[in-house]
Amino acid sequence: MSDDLSGFSLIELFRAEAESQTQTLSAGLLSLERGDASAATLESLMRAAHSIKGAARIVGLDAAVSVVPSTTGSGSSLHTSICSCAASIS
């Protein structure tokens, strides 16, 4: 993608963002599965999920918004799920 994004629709930009963030999620989840995830990996997972959710909300993809759990704060369901997963792997 070039630096000039003015020719793209919001949904096209969402697709590009989602693809990038999905790669981050995949890499992080594989790291968790292998048992070599760090705190930075967990933070990256939460940030990627939050980015997808925010971008989906902007373009009105409510179904995508509802798939991604709340990602704000240490008490969020995503944070709890990732920490539980990490604890079970170690």
- Tens of pLDDT along 53-72? 999 999 999 888 887 766 55
pTM value surpassing 0.75: no
Cα–Cα distance measured from residue 2 to residue 89, given in angstroms and rounded to the nearest whole number: 40
Q: Which is it for the CA torsion 51, 68, 11, 15, positive or negative? A: positive
Rounded distance between C-alpha atoms, residue 28 and residue 82, angstroms: 10
Q: Is-contact 37 25, C-beta < 8 A?
A: no
Contact 53, 68 (CB under 8 A): yes
Q: Name the more confident of 51 and 82.
A: 51
pLDDT score of 19 more than 90: yes
Query: Confidence band (pLDDT; 50, 70, 90) for 84?
Result: low
Does position 75 have pLDDT exceeding 60, yes or no? Answer: no
Per-residue model confidence as pLDDT tens digits over 35-46: 888 888 888 988
